[in-house]
Amino acid sequence: MELFIVFLFGTLIGSFLNVVILRIPRDENIAFPASHCFTCSTPLKPWHNIPLFSWLFLGGKCAFCKSPISSQYPIIELLSGVLFFTIAYKIGITLSSAFVALTFLMLLALSMIDFKYKMAPDSLNLLAILFAILSAYSFSMFVLNLENALLFAGGFTLLRFSLSYILTSIAHSKAKRTQTSWTKNYQTYPFIEAMGEADIMVAATMGALLGIKLALVSIFVAAVLALPVMLYVQGRSLEEQRVPFIPFLAMGTFITYLLDTQIYAYLETLYA
C-alpha cells in the first residue's frame, strides 16, 4: 500500500516534471501561467491534470479543441511513478532515498530535453549533482559523494581534453603536431570538441550517486546501450550523427543502481 502511494506521488511529480521539460528550453517561467493547451491556449480544468488518467480518458486529445496532446505527458508520468516505486522498494522511504529519487528525476528531465532539443539546461544539471551529493545517509558519505563528484568531473574533463586533441590532430594531420588544444589556432585549424560540457556534469552526478566502481560500470553500460544507435547513424548527415548521449548515461546509471549488489559480487570474483 505504501509503495502504491509512492507510485501515485511519483506520477504527480512526473506531471510537474513535464512542465519543467517543456518550459525550461523555451525560457518560460515554470510556475506561471497555469497549465494550458498549447494549441487553443484554454486553461485546463483540475480534472484534466490527473496524471496518466486524464490523458487516457481524453484519448490523448485536448478536451476543448481536440488537437492531439503529446504522448510525452503519460510517458514521463509513468516513468516517474515507476522510478519512485522502484527506489522506495529497493532502499525504503527515507530522506536519503528521496534525494536519490530527485537525482534520477533530474536525469530523466535532462534525458528528455537532450533527446528532444539536443541541449541540457545547466540548472537541471547542477541540481542533479547537488541532489546526488545530498543523497548521503551520513556525513562521511556526504564527503565521499562530494569527492567522487569532483573526481568524475575532473576525469571527464581530462578525457574530453585528450579525445578532442586526438580528433583535432587526426583532422588536421598535416598541421604541426606540436600544437596542443591549449595552443590551438582557431582560424587555421578548427578545434574539434569531443563530448559536451553537459556530459561532464552528468558524469559528476554519476560519480556522486554511485561511487567510483559502479559509476565506471554504468559508463560502460551506457556505451554498450549507445553502440547500436551510433552504428545506425554512421554515414548519415552530421546533424543526425549528433546522438544525444545523456539518455544513455541516465539508463546506464539506473540499471547499475538497481543491480549494485550483483555488480559488486561480480567485481569481487574478478579480483579474487
List of residues contacting Zn ion (CB under 5 A)? 37, 39-40, 62, 64-65
Query: Which grid coordinates are listed for 234?
Result: 554512421
Q: Considering the complex, state which of residue 28 and residue 240 has its C-beta at the smaller distance from Zn ion.
A: 28
Q: Considering the complex, state which of residue 12 and residue 63 has its C-beta at the smaller distance from Zn ion.
A: 63
Residue type, 85: F
Shortest Å distance, C-beta 66 to Zn ion: 7
Q: Considering the complex, state which of residue 74 and residue 121 has its C-beta at the smaller distance from Zn ion.
A: 74
Shortest Å distance, C-beta 5 to Zn ion: 32
Q: Considering the complex, state which of residue 43 and residue 190 has its C-beta at the smaller distance from Zn ion.
A: 43
Shortest Å distance, C-beta 17 to Zn ion: 21
Taking a C-beta distance cutoff of 8 angstroms, is the pair 131, 102 a contact?
yes
Q: Considering the complex, state which of residue 40 and residue 230 has its C-beta at the smaller distance from Zn ion.
A: 40
Shortest Å distance, C-beta 70 to Zn ion: 12
Residue (of 201, 195, 181, 197) closest to 242 by Cα position: 195
Long-range pairs for 142-149: beta carbons < 8 A, 24 or more residues apart: 144/211, 145/208, 145/209, 146/208, 148/207, 148/208, 148/210, 148/211, 148/212, 148/215, 149/204, 149/205, 149/207, 149/208
Residue type, 48: H
Shortest Å distance, C-beta 61 to Zn ion: 8
